[in-house]
Structure 1
Amino acid sequence: MSYSIKKIELYVRETKPGRMLFSLGKKKQENKSQQGLLNPLGHIRLVLQDSEGNETFGCAGDRLSVRWLDKRPGRSLDLKRRELVQLLNDAKEIALSIGEFETPFEFWEKAHPQIMQRGREMQQEDLTSSYASAQFERAVLDAFCRAHEKSIFEMVKTGQVGFEAASIHPELKGFPFEKSLPQRPLSQFWIRHTIGSSDPLTEADLNAANRANDGLPETLEEYVREDGIRYFKIKVSGSPDQDLQRLSAIWDVIVSAQAPVITLDANEAFDDLKTFEKFLVRFDRELTGMFQHVAYIEQPLRRQLTLDPSTKKSITRLAELKSLLIDESDGTTDSYRRALDIGYDGTSHKNCKGVFKSLANYALMMKRAETGRSTFLSAEDLQNLPVVPLQQDFTTLGILGIEHCERNGHHYNFGLSMLSEKDRANALASHPDLYVEKDGEGFLNIQNGQVNCASLQCSGFGIANEPDWDSMMNMNEWVKLRHSE
Structure 2
Amino acid sequence: MAYHIESIDLFVRETPPNRMTFTIGKQKGADAPPPKRRPRGILLVRMQLTDDQGRRTWGVAGDRPSFGWLDKRSDYGPEEKLDRLLALVRRARDLYLEQPRFDTPFEQWHDRLEPIRLQGKAANHEGLSIAYASALFERAMIDAVCRMEELSFFEAVRQNRLGFDAGSVFPELKSIRLQDHLPQRPRTRFAIRHTVGLADPLTADDLPESERVNDGEPETLAEYVQRDGLKFFKVKISGDAEADLHRLGRIWDVIVDVEDPVVTLDGNESYTDINAFARFVERFEAEQLGIFQHTSFIEQPLTRALTHDPSTADAIAKITRHKPVIIDEADESLDSFPSALAIGYSGTSHKNCKGVFKSLVNFCRCRQLEAQDRIVIQSGEDLSNMPMVPLHQDFAALGVLDILDCERNGHHYSYGLSHLTETEKRHVRTAHRDLYTPRDGELFLNIRNGMVQCESLQCRGFGVAFPPEWNALIPLDDWDIAW
List aligned pairs for 1:17-416, cutoff 5 A. 17-27=17-27, 30=31, 32=33, 39-416=40-417
Aligned-pair CA distance for 1:256: 1.4
Residue in 1 that maps onto 2:424: 423
State the Cα deviation string for residues 401-447 of structure 1 (Å, max 9, x = none). Answer: 00000012221010000111111211221110001112321110000
Paired letter, 1:55 = R
Verify the 8 A CA contact 1:201 1:250 in the aligned structure 2. yes
Deviations 1:76-133 (A, max 9, x none): 1110111111111111110011132111011111111111111111110010000000
What is the rounded CA distance, in whole Å, between the counterparts of 1:34 and 1:15 in structure 2?
18
Give the SS at the match of 2:321. helix
Cα displacement (A) at 1:472: 1.1
Q: Return the alpha-carbon distance in structure 1 between the equivalents of residues 86 and 36 of structure 2.
A: 22
Between the aligned residues of both structures, percent identity stands at: 48
Question: Are the equivalent residues in 1 in contact too, given 2:434–2:456 (CA < 8 A)?
Answer: yes
Q: CA 1:338–1:23 in structure 2 vs 1: closer, same or farther (change >3 Å)? A: same
Q: Which residue of 1 aligns with 2:444?
A: 443
Q: Report the 3-state secondary structure (helix = DSSP H, G, I; strand = E; otherwise coil) of the residue aligned with 2:45.
A: strand
Q: What is the root-mean-square deviation of aligned Cα atoms in Å?
A: 1.6
Q: Is the 8 A contact 1:60 1:139 kept in 2?
A: yes
Secondary structure (helix, strand or coil) at the match of 2:102 reads: coil
- 2:391 partner SS: helix
Asked if the contact 2:23–2:34 (Cα under 8 Å) also holds between the matched residues in 1, the reply is no
Aligned 8 A contact 2:37 2:68 in 1: no
Q: TM-score, normalised by structure 2?
A: 0.97
Report if the CA contact (8 A) 1:134-1:353 is conserved.
Answer: yes
Q: Distance in 2 between matches of 1:281 and 1:454?
A: 42
Cα distance in 2, alignment partners of residues 407 and 128 from structure 1: 22
Counterpart-to-counterpart distance in 2, 1:160 and 1:74: 43
Q: 1:280 to 1:33 in 2, by over 3 A?
A: closer
In 1, the alpha carbon distance for the partners of 2:276 and 2:14 equals 40
Shift in alpha-carbon separation, 1:378–1:33, aligned structure 2, 3 A:
closer
Secondary structure of the corresponding residue to residue 372 of structure 1: coil
Check the 8 A contact 2:10/2:475 in 1, yes or no.
Answer: yes
Deviations 1:132-175 (A, max 9, x none): 00000000000000001110100101111000011223211121
CA deviations over 1:242-293 (Å, ceiling 9, x no partner): 1111111111101111211000000000111110011000110111121110
What amino acid maps onto 1:482 in structure 2?
I
- Between the aligned partners of 1:35 and 1:97, the Cα distance in structure 2 is 34
Contact 1:40/1:64 (CA < 8 Å) preserved in 2?
Answer: yes
Partner of 1:5: 5
Aligned length: 482
The one-letter code sitting in structure 2 at the alignment partner of 1:213 is N
SS of 1:194's equivalent? strand
Q: Deviations over 1:38-73 (max 9, x none)?
A: 531100001011012211000000011000000001
Instruction: Give yes or no for the alignment of 1:482 onto 2:478.
Output: no
Distance 2:123 2:216 in 1: 46
- When structure 1 is superposed on structure 2, of 405-414 and 55-64 the one drifting more is 405-414
What SS is found at the alignment partner of 2:48?
strand
The one-letter amino acid of 2:3's match is Y
Q: Within 1, Cα distance between the matches of 2:31 and 2:276?
A: 26
Instruction: Structure 2: give runs of 5+ residues left out of the alignment.
Output: none
SS at match of 2:465: coil
Please say if residues 17 and 35 of structure 1, whose CA atoms lie closer than 8 Å, have aligned partners that are also in contact: no
